Chains A and B, each alone.
Chain A
Amino acid sequence: MNPHIRLGRGIVVAALLCLIPAAVFAQANGGPRMDHENTLPPTPTGPTPMAPDGHPDLTGLWNGLADNLLGVPNQMHNVGIEVGTDTTRDIHSGVQIATWPLQNRKRQNNEQNERAATLLRRMGSNRPIYKPEYWQRVKDFDANSNEEDPSNNCMPAGVPRMGVPSYIAQTPAYLVFIYPGQGGLIATATSYRMIPTDGRKHTNLEELDGTWNGESIGHWEGDTMVVDSIGFNSTSWFDQLGGYFHSENMHVTERLHRDGNTLTWTATIEDPDVLLEPWTTTPRVALLNPDPKAILPESLPCSERDFAHVVTKEHH
């Protein structure tokens, strides 16, 4: 076969493969299509079911479109940019951002599209404040993320980068969180967490081997589940983008609050070794899958095959 023809077919197939996960994901959700025209979080509807102990029942498939990693809209909202019908604002600073009507969008090719997405994902003001000696390292990690991002080698995302769990099972003594393998922005293997809520205390940090997810224990503060985690390795990054590295002394406090069919998640990162002050993510609002028969699809193995073909520093 003519090698040029083969290459051309390869490009077409690759382009189509990149498009498939979005469609598959949407179908698996049984939810709305992904053609968002805004980044507004979903509005809660319906009652909040309660567990026998009187706390909200978080059990459910939380893989609505509010927190997947595939589309730019939610990635923009995750960094605090709220695009409405004709206005855009940074929800942390309140700054209004210039917006031009949807129908006036300038035509662009795939390359321009990806470059724009890279900018859009980084335009928010909610950034962790590192100690000055680490400012350059964060910049370098982000600029060289094709090589440096641990998720590009199929490593686990870890806590809290993995975000909102796609499935939660709540028992009187444990929470079980499941995170299916994700494609799109970052690609990671399926992961799970078993989180005691029986009142136990953390193991001494010195006795813990640093891991991707750390040691987590949960407790209720009113109607909010608070998951406290320590005992991490220093390999993962703590947000989807940005090169946000951390030390083994990172302490993560996740808060999960159910309101009807929505689940709001935030994580606060404390790491006095590298950060000047604690940092809290932009709240992410996941939507309950309304289909009682819905199940998580199988996540097939993550396989790195692209890196040998990367020729520039352009990245997600």
Chain B
Amino acid sequence: MPIQARTIRARAGRAFVIAALAALIFQVARGQSNYSKTNATAKTTTGGPADNPTKSNPSEVAKTLQVAAEAVGLARWSGVGGQRLPEVDVINTMEIWASGTTYGSGSPNKSSESGSAFKTEYHASLGYNPPAMRVEMTRTSSGGSGSPAPLHTIEVVREKYAWDESEIGAGLIPGKGVATPAMASANSRILELWTLPYGVIKAAVAAGDKVTMSTENGARVLTFPLSGQLAGVVVKATLDAQDEIAKVETRTDNPALTGMATETEYSEYADHGEIATDVKSPGHIVRKQAGHPVLDLHVKMLDANNPYLVFPVPENVKKAAAQ
């Protein structure tokens, strides 16, 4: 932030200033020209309704993914320092604060049974490299004065490891909290990460030529399989007119992958950050699992500035996974 005194040299000469401004104008004009060409191409290939093709043109899929990535601020570049790098996916870690209602047991892993509604304060910390998510919820029964005390849970997943924490970072230092292995929940927890709008775009890009594009009721739909520990799960993502991910459905024919039939609707996209990032996130999230409501949340704030979030796996969780 401090201005180095050597920059005072910049005051030398009106001619230099004029030359610099001319160079800037030329660069901006060239950028506008490039953008106009790209944007026009994207609209041509993605804007109109198709006849529900079963085989997609790879370039159409790629362009659709690019406009979807740009719509939420995932595909970005920067010219700081005079560099000319391509657009890359800039989203790794983020934090989401939300409030609303969760249903059933309150646990996304046990909520296939439709049940009570809980007023919920929700805080998710997540990262895509490595894939990990920590969801902290405080659920309060709406049953009145005789209701039990609020239930506070911290559920964590990192790739194949899943555990519950008695406090943030429990189990990493002896005597500081308890980390309880929850391996059976690993797949359903990591699925939440990959069904967020950013996860859908990342996973679709990773799926490569396995992505197909169609239209349903005039909306573009991308369908593709997940891989790794979620192999066997198919994602169907619907884009809205603003190129944002509006609905994500997952299904599987593998009976071993229980709890994988989900449906999540995203709406009210905006930059919800205290520090502006130009990353847009949904302001309203509604999720169902096996046809039953799981959560209905309104986002209060989202920090997309790749904040410091880490997910080290406690030793006892590693041991439990190895057994």
Contact = CB atoms under 8 A, between A and B. Distances in A.
A124 B309 CA distance: 12
Nearest to A298: B6
Contact of A113 (B8, B78, B206): B78
A86 interface: yes
A146 B308 contact: no
Nearest to A299: B6
A280 interface: no
B5 interface: yes
Given A104-B38, A129-B310, A303-B2, A83 B276 contact: no
A64 interface: no
Nearest to B92: A123
Q: Chain A CB within 10 Å — which of B78, B82, B310 has the most?
A: B78
Contacts of B85: 36-39, 72-73, 76, 83, 102
Interface stretch (B68-76, B97-105, B111-119, B218-226): B68-76
Given A104-B87, A132-B168, A243-B308, A95 B81 contact: no
A115 B276 contact: yes
Contact of B34 (A103, A114, A115, A125): A103
A302 B7 CA distance: 10
A6 interface: no
Contacts of A183: 3-4, 6-7
Interface residues of B, number: 68
B305 A119 contact: yes
Interface in B280-323: 303-310, 312
B77 A105 contact: yes
B205 A98 contact: yes
Interface in B29-63: 31-32, 34-35, 38
A297 to B, nearest CB: 7
Given A93-B130, A138-B308, A72 B81 contact: yes
B77 A116 contact: yes
Contacts of B170: 132
A242 interface: yes
Given A115-B278, A183-B7, A120 B78 contact: yes
Contacts of B304: 119
B173 interface: yes
A63 to B, nearest CB: 14
A32 B102 CA distance: 57
A15 to B, nearest CB: 9
Given A38-B85, A72-B83, A116-B78, A95 B277 contact: no
Contacts, number: 246
Given A72-B78, A138-B308, A102 B84 contact: yes
A93 B306 contact: no
Interface string A284-315: 00000000000001111111111100101111
Which of under 10, 10 to 19, 20 to 34, or 35 or more describes the interface residues of A? 35 or more
A183 B202 CA distance: 35
A229 to B, nearest CB: 24
Contacts of A203: none
A123 B86 contact: no
Given A24-B9, A132-B169, A143-B305, A72 B80 contact: yes
Nearest to A154: B2
Interface string A66-81: 0000111100100001
A20 interface: yes
Q: Chain B CB within 10 Å — which of A96, A135, A316 has the most?
A: A135
A22 B31 CA distance: 21
A101 interface: yes
A123 B305 contact: no
Nearest to B74: A98
A230 interface: no
A112 interface: yes
B9 A306 contact: no
A201 interface: no
A184 B14 CA distance: 24
A202 interface: no
A73 B102 CA distance: 44
Contacts of B279: 119
Interface in A115-134: 115-120, 122-125, 127, 129-133
Interface string B3-19: 11111111000000100
A105 B310 contact: no
A105 B86 contact: yes
B156 to A, nearest CB: 12
A93 B78 contact: no
A113 B6 contact: no
Contacts of A297: 6
Contacts of B173: 131-132, 276
A254 interface: no
B106 to A, nearest CB: 24
Given A19-B20, A117-B78, A119-B76, A93 B129 contact: yes
Contact of B3 (A17, A37, A101): A17
B143 to A, nearest CB: 33
A125 B130 contact: yes
Contacts of B149: none
20 contacts: A36-B83, A36-B85, A73-B81, A98-B88, A100-B66, A101-B86, A104-B66, A107-B34, A108-B77, A112-B278, A113-B79, A125-B92, A131-B172, A143-B274, A143-B305, A299-B4, A304-B1, A305-B3, A310-B1, A313-B275
Interface of B: 1-10, 17, 20-21, 31-32, 34-35, 38, 66, 69-70, 74-92, 129-130, 167-170, 172-173, 176, 201-202, 205-206, 274-279, 303-310, 312
